[in-house]
């Protein structure tokens, strides 16, 4: 096995009409969650992936589990509980490319995940642990689980990739978010913040300064995602800007998860930081052209085709 990740996946109800939700009567049912998005992205690229969570013993929980398992992802460590429901959320589309998300996840099944439920031997069978800042924000026991997973990963020699993925509605304060995010970033081998997240963590506003501040001892590389402006990457040996791939943005939700999947795929292929960021950028550009978090994620052939279209990108080194 190659990559393991964990977190909350929920049922998403979306509409193709550009209307406030109070005027919408018909919804499309999908499944989404940052960590499972990354897992699916990697699985579609041909990687062997494991994902675990706690789901409600309800129709939505079974739906989520079947969807993720259907991509060939190992879900053998998932737990079903009758004590809380599977979370749901709704996506409102006000105009093309502009969305608002409403979450109903408070006291959900995933928030009941506990550190003593972690299968340490299971983690040892992987090369990379992917974590986000969402899971530790769900509850104090989810934070404890995240800390334990990091400790086990370090003991067993896994590389850790951390995407802050800040969800402000889950945090009591900006200071609480900053404290935990910095702790997790310092524990990771690779850190993938967005520009706003980088500002939160460091108090700095320029990508070069953010990356330099986060590149602490033990951190191998930092990639600052700049959305439609590309990305900036930095390691002890290399740094540079990756210009964005041209993309027709239909739905921006899930682009960061696609980016993370592409980046991790690059690491698994043994690529240098620059090439892994190129792969990540191509993944993100493809993903935003489709409605839904995972429906537009490419397979390896499609991704390589986009990466090899040399007119589509330009890498500017600094």
As annotated, the active-site residues are 257
Strand ranges, E, within the chain: 3-6, 10-18, 28-32, 49-52, 54-56, 79-81, 88-95, 98-104, 128-132, 159-163, 190-191, 221-225, 231-235, 239-242, 315-317
**In which element (H, E) is residue 122 found?**
helix 120-123
Radius of gyration for the alpha carbons in the chain, expressed in angstroms and rounded: 18
Distance between CA atoms of 40 and 45, rounded to whole angstroms? 9
In the chain, how long is the greatest CA-to-CA distance? 55
Residue pair 102/21 in contact by the 8 Å Cβ criterion: yes
Residue pair 128/192 in contact by the 8 Å Cβ criterion: no
Question: CB 49: neighbour CB atoms within 10 A?
Answer: 29
Taken in order 285, 288, 293, 299, the sign of the CA dihedral is negative
Residue 157 per-residue DSSP state: T
Residue 57 per-residue DSSP state: S
Question: CB 203: neighbour CB atoms within 10 A?
Answer: 11
Distance between CA atoms of 112 and 250, rounded to whole angstroms? 34
Query: Quick one: which of 181, 173, 219, 175 has its CA closest to 197?
Result: 181
3-state secondary structure at position 174: helix
Buried b / exposed e across 71-103, counting CB within 10 Å, b at 16+?
bebbbebbeebeebbbbbbbbbbeeeeebeeee
């Amino acid at each position: 096995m190659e990559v393991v990740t964990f977190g909350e996946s929920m049922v998403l109800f979306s509409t193709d009409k550009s209307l406030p939700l109070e005027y919408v009567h018909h919804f499309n049912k999908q499944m989404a969650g940052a960590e499972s998005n990354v897992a699916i992205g990697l699985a579609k690229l041909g990687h062997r992936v494991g994902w675990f969570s706690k789901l409600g013993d309800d129709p939505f929980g079974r739906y989520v589990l079947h969807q993720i398992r259907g991509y060939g992802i190992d879900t053998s460590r998932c737990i079903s509980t009758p004590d809380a429901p599977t979370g749901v959320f709704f996506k409102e589309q006000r105009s093309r490319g502009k969305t608002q998300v409403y979450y109903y996840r408070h006291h959900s099944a995933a928030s009941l995940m506990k550190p003593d439920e972690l299968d340490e031997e299971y983690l040892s069978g992987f090369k990379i642990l992917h974590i986000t800042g969402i899971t530790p924000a769900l509850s104090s026991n989810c934070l404890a689980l995240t800390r334990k997973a990091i400790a086990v990963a370090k003991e067993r020699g896994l590389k850790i990739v951390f995407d802050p993925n800040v969800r402000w509605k889950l945090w009591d304060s900006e200071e609480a978010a900053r404290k935990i995010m910095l702790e997790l970033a310092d524990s990771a081998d690779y850190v993938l913040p967005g520009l706003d997240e980088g500002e939160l963590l460091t108090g700095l506003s320029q990508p070069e300064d953010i990356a330099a501040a986060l590149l602490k001892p033990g951190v191998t590389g930092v990639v600052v995602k700049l959305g439609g402006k590309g990305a900036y990457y930095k390691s002890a040996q290399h740094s540079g800007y990756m210009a964005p791939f041209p993309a027709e943005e239909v739905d921006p939700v899930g682009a960061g998860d696609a980016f993370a999947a592409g980046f991790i795929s690059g690491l698994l292929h043994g690529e240098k930081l620059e090439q892994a960021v190129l792969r990540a950028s191509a993944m993100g550009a493809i993903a935003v052209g489709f409605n839904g978090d995972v429906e537009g994620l490419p397979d390896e052939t499609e991704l390589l085709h986009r990466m090899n279209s040399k007119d589509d990108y330009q890498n500017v080194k600094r």
